[in-house]
């Protein structure tokens, strides 16, 4: 019976339609700059990491803290608002656009993936959809946000949780797949 079912054939995979948004030369330069200045524990300078990302097209607001060992696939597809914290070892796999609003916190080890594969096709086609984090979103350590997800204003994704659907505003989620825990209640000063 197994012989009659279709099988994945990665030799037929073709993502020629995908535009990386930059020349091969620029992508190669970014690959080296990322390894030397951004995705390394050897650069203690936040300002240098931000400068390098901006030089390759990232739009980064004021007051952003970008810890070391952050990995950004395509900086020209990244927009970060003001006063955001991006923790150690955050991985932004952004074949598609990633937009991060103001006052967002991405704790250490967060993974954001705008790309995935179509498991229904034997050719395992690439699927790319943007990710949006609205203002005040907090992604807990080791959490993951998948393609096409919007985390609405001040939503929280708990430690090691996985978001594969939109997160409601002022709501706290946990688990894999994530589920609503409760509303986020914030105290005014």
In the three-class reduction of DSSP (H, G, I as helix; E, B as strand; rest coil), residue 147 is classed as coil
Write the CB contacts of 78 (distance below 8 Å, at least 6 apart in sequence): 53, 57, 58, 59, 60, 72, 92, 94, 97, 98, 100
- Does the pTM surpass 0.85? The reply is yes
Span 121-164, pLDDT tens digits: 999 999 999 999 999 999 999 999 999 999 999 999 999 999 99
User: Which pLDDT value is given to residue 17?
Assistant: 85
- Edge-to-edge strand list for the sheet holding 98-100: 59-60, 78-80, 98-100, 131-133, 150-151
User: Which pLDDT value is given to residue 67?
Assistant: 96
User: Which pLDDT value is given to residue 125?
Assistant: 92
Contact yes or no for 103/68 (Cβ under 8 A): no
Domain boundaries, the chain: 23-137
User: Which pLDDT value is given to residue 150?
Assistant: 98
User: Which pLDDT value is given to residue 177?
Assistant: 96
User: Which pLDDT value is given to residue 2?
Assistant: 58
Span 75-85, pLDDT tens digits: 999 999 999 99
Question: Which residues of the chain are modeled with pLDDT < 70?
Answer: 1-2
User: Which pLDDT value is given to residue 159?
Assistant: 98
């Amino acid at each position: 019976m197994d012989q009659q079912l279709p099988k994945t054939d990665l030799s037929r995979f073709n993502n020629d339609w995908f535009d990386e948004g930059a020349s091969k030369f620029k992508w190669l330069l970014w690959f080296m700059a990322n390894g030397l200045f951004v995705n390394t524990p050897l650069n203690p300078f936040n300002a240098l990491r931000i400068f390098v990302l901006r030089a390759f097209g990232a739009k980064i607001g004021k007051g952003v803290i970008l810890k070391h060992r952050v990995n950004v696939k395509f900086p020209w597809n990244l927009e970060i608002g003001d006063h955001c914290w991006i923790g150690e070892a955050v991985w932004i796999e952004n074949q598609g656009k990633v937009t991060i609003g103001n006052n967002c916190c991405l704790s250490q080890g967060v993974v954001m993936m705008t790309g995935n594969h179509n498991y229904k096709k034997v050719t395992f086609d690439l699927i790319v959809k943007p990710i949006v984090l609205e203002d005040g979103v907090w992604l807990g350590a080791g959490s993951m946000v998948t393609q096409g997800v919007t985390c609405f204003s001040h939503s929280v994704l708990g430690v090691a949780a996985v978001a594969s659907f939109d997160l409601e505003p002022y709501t706290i989620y946990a688990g894999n797949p994530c589920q609503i825990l409760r509303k986020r209640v914030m105290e005014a000063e």
